[in-house]
Amino acid sequence: MIGHNIKSIRGREILDSKGYPTIEVELSTEAGVFVASVPSGTSTGKYEAKELRDGGDKYFGRGVQKAVQNIDQIIAPKLVGKNPQEQQEIDNLMIELDGTIDKSQLGANAILGVSVAVLKAGAGAENVPLWQWIAQIAKTKPVLPFPCLLYVEGGMHGRGDVDTQEFMVVIEDGSFKEQLRLGTETYHTLREILNKKFGKASTNVGLEGGFTPPVQETEDVLDLIMEALKKTGQKKAKIIIDAAASTFFRNGRYYFEGEDFNQQGLSDFYTKLCQKYPIIGIEDPFAEDDWVGFRGITQVLGQNINIIGDDVLATNLQRIEEAQKKGVCNALILKPNQAGTVSETIKAAKLALEHNWDVFVKHRSGETCDTFLADLAVGLGTGFLMAGAPNRGERVAKYNRVLRIEQEMQNI
Ligand code: PGA
């Protein structure tokens, strides 16, 4: 392995898809140069590992120059000369160097950027595709994921008309390539329907490429999606909604669609939706600290519906373990930047999979064109990839990467 050891690491400030700074890391070994960049959220949960931002005037305080300095001056000197295939050891070293529980000293953005670049260099040293290397170190079975295509965005991601943040469609029919085609055709069909009903401005898209029509009610959006699915003849389509309920929770109440719900009221609302529409998952139906609400809905709907924890679990091992013990949620959103290292992300996924939970590998609203997420979903065999709409380059890049992997798998 000599010759594949890390020769250099440097960070730089680049822009994410929202036009705010994020981290890119360039790592070199004899095998080549490996580049990784990290995403950033908008409806960020409070239990996530913390990004380091500069404050001050530049980029409205959102610069990441300090995180870049931490990469160049603190992390790089410790990692140069190390074997990039020692992912766990390198991640542990960065966790130690940081010394905080939430990675706020060096910045989770700095640490994750390096961690993913190391992972890519590890695959390079082995001369295998990234997804295969991930499966090798995680001891998992690679599987192509179902694409969960985003159709409509509301809440903090859209124009603010509908409170539910995301409406996704999964068409479990045929190969990945076929599912992507059917889902994308239906997305374009929905555009035509919206155009006719509300005019062209209604097909502007939100942060993750979903349409942002002037519709206030969750049910009305679902009706529009059902109309599109009917028009394209999709019989195997299922829907997942992301309520992102922390964003409309204040002082113990849920302010949603002009009403003021308690836990029971909101739970009844979701139950009715699930009876009326082919919903297979609800992400963050309650706020991140409302474990009572989560447990209640998992008891009522959990038999047939994925109650998917995002903000509530924050890709955090302890929180996942506790949620499993208490019957809170039955499925996991896996976001590497919530954890802050590749190793912790892999452990979180495995903990969920061992518990027979479905795992949804998910992007952030502020993305880059890095396609690591696609390899992660395949390599860990999680079964689902949420990378946004079939629209906007940084989203499509991930689905396109899976198309490439689909071919790579056929050739191996
Ligand atoms: P975020 O969005 O990246 O803005 O936090 C949450 C999500 O897409 O699940």
Q: Could you read off the pLDDT of 65-96 as tens digits, one per residue?
A: 999 999 999 999 999 999 999 999 999 999 99
From ligand 1's centre to the CA of 158, what distance in Å?
Answer: 12
Residues with CB under 6 A from ligand 1: 41-44, 242, 310, 362, 364-365
Q: What is the pLDDT of residue 18?
A: 97
Low-confidence winner among 171-175, 265-269, 375-379 (lowest mean pLDDT) = 171-175
CA of 77 to the centre of ligand 1 (A): 33
208 is catalytic: yes
Rounded CA separation 37/31 (Å):
19
* Percentage of the residues of the chain whose pLDDT score is greater than 90: 94
Phi first, then psi: give them for residue 50, nearest 5 degrees: -95, 130
What is the reported pLDDT for 412?
Answer: 67
Residue nearest to ligand 1 atom 9, measured at CA:
364
DSSP letter assigned to residue 360: E
Q: Is the pLDDT of residue 387 over 90?
A: yes
Confidence band (pLDDT; 50, 70, 90) for 160?
A: low
Full-prediction pTM beyond 0.95?
Answer: yes
Q: In degrees, to the nearest 5, what angle opens at C-alpha 382 toward C-alphas 376 and 384?
A: 95
Catalytic residue at 82? Answer: no
**pLDDT-derived band at 173, boundaries 50, 70, 90:** confident
User: Distances from the Cα of 318 to the Cαs of 205, 249, 299, 329, 348, in angstroms?
Assistant: 36, 24, 22, 14, 9
Rounded distance between C-alpha atoms, residue 382 and residue 359, angstroms: 5
Q: How far apart are CA 51 and CA 95, in angstroms?
A: 14
What is residue 44's predicted lDDT score, i.e. its pLDDT?
Answer: 85
Question: 271 CA to middle of ligand 1, Å?
Answer: 24
Going by pLDDT thresholds of 50, 70 and 90, the confidence category of residue 3 is low
Overall average pLDDT of the 297-313 stretch: 97
Residue ranges of alpha helices (H) inside 46-171 are: 65-69, 76-79, 87-98, 108-126, 130-138
